[in-house]
């Protein structure tokens, strides 16, 4: 639903916030390729010329959206602070809170765009690599393993679970179990998988 006349944003900062919020919503729902500047402007309640003036191209707006969402995720991760579950679990909780970022990334990859051209920096992933490296220094993770490889696989696992858990549960029959029983089984396997990262005795 687009904004009415009374709800239209005024002033550069209000316009910027409204456009970014509209772009996040539309990019996450439809994918960047399917969304036009005019649609974003209509959803934000501004003239499409203002979008061009403040952001330039749709590609520049998409880059700004990715940077903002990525920074929000990293800030959420820092706000949670250290806990016994570690960086991967914190990041996975953040994905549930701000899944617009992951949905937009999914659309971008399905559309065949080069992610490295849109977002050169990934602060949350950097934080996860640093946390994994710190755990290796503490002797909690095998130092022979590359922390980037650990983070890459953990990220893929977490996002895969976020996107495909309903399918996986139904397809394997786990969806028919009481949630408490199912979660106990899943947690046991997850602990076993994580145990494989510990240093050899």
> Which CATH number is 163's domain given?
1.10.357.10
pTM given for the model: 0.76
- Is residue 165, in this structure, part of any structural domain at all? yes
How far apart (Å, rounded) are the C-alpha atoms in residues 173 and 58?
Answer: 43
Q: Looking at the domain assignment, is residue 53 inside a domain?
A: yes
Residue-range definition of the domain harbouring residue 102: 5-195
- The end-to-end CA distance of the chain, in Å, is 60
The answer to the question of residue 50 being in a domain is yes
The pLDDT of residue 20 is 94
Q: What is the predicted pLDDT for the residue at 97?
A: 47
The answer to whether 51 and 41 are in contact (CB under 8 A) is: yes
The angle subtended at Cα 163 by Cα 58 and Cα 155, nearest 5°, is 85
Residue 48, both tokens: 């499409």
Calculate the CA dihedral of residues 51, 57, 61, 67 and round it to 10 degrees.
-150
- Residue 201 placed within a domain: no
Q: Could you give the number of structural domains in the chain?
A: 1
Per-residue pLDDT of the chain (201 residues; tens, 9 = 90+): 555 555 666 677 888 899 999 999 999 999 999 999 999 999 999 988 888 888 889 999 999 999 988 888 777 766 555 554 555 555 555 555 468 888 899 899 999 988 888 888 888 888 888 888 988 999 989 999 999 999 999 888 888 887 888 899 999 999 999 999 998 998 888 888 888 888 887
200 assigned to some structural domain:
no
Residue 144 forms part of a structural domain: yes
18 inside domain: yes
Q: Would 102 be classed as within a structural domain?
A: yes
């Amino acid at each position: 639903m687009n904004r009415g006349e009374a709800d239209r944003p005024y002033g550069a900062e209000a316009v910027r916030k409204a456009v970014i919020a509209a772009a996040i919503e539309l990019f996450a729902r439809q994918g960047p390729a399917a969304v036009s500047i005019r649609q974003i402007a209509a959803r934000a309640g501004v003239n499409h010329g203002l979008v061009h003036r403040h952001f330039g191209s749709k590609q520049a707006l998409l880059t700004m959206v990715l940077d903002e969402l990525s920074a929000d995720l990293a800030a959420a991760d820092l706000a949670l602070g250290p806990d016994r579950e570690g960086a991967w679990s914190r990041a996975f909780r953040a994905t549930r809170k701000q899944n617009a970022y992951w949905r937009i990334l999914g659309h971008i990859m399905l559309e065949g765009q080069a992610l490295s051209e849109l977002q050169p920096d990934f602060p949350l992933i950097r934080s996860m690599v640093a946390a994994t490296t710190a755990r290796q220094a503490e002797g909690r993770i095998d130092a022979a393993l590359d922390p980037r490889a650990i983070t890459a696989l953990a990220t893929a696992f977490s996002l895969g679970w976020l996107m495909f858990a309903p399918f996986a549960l139904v397809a394997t029959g786990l969806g028919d179990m009481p949630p408490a029983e199912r979660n106990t089984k899943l947690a046991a396997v997850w602990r076993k998988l994580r145990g494989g990262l510990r240093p050899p005795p």
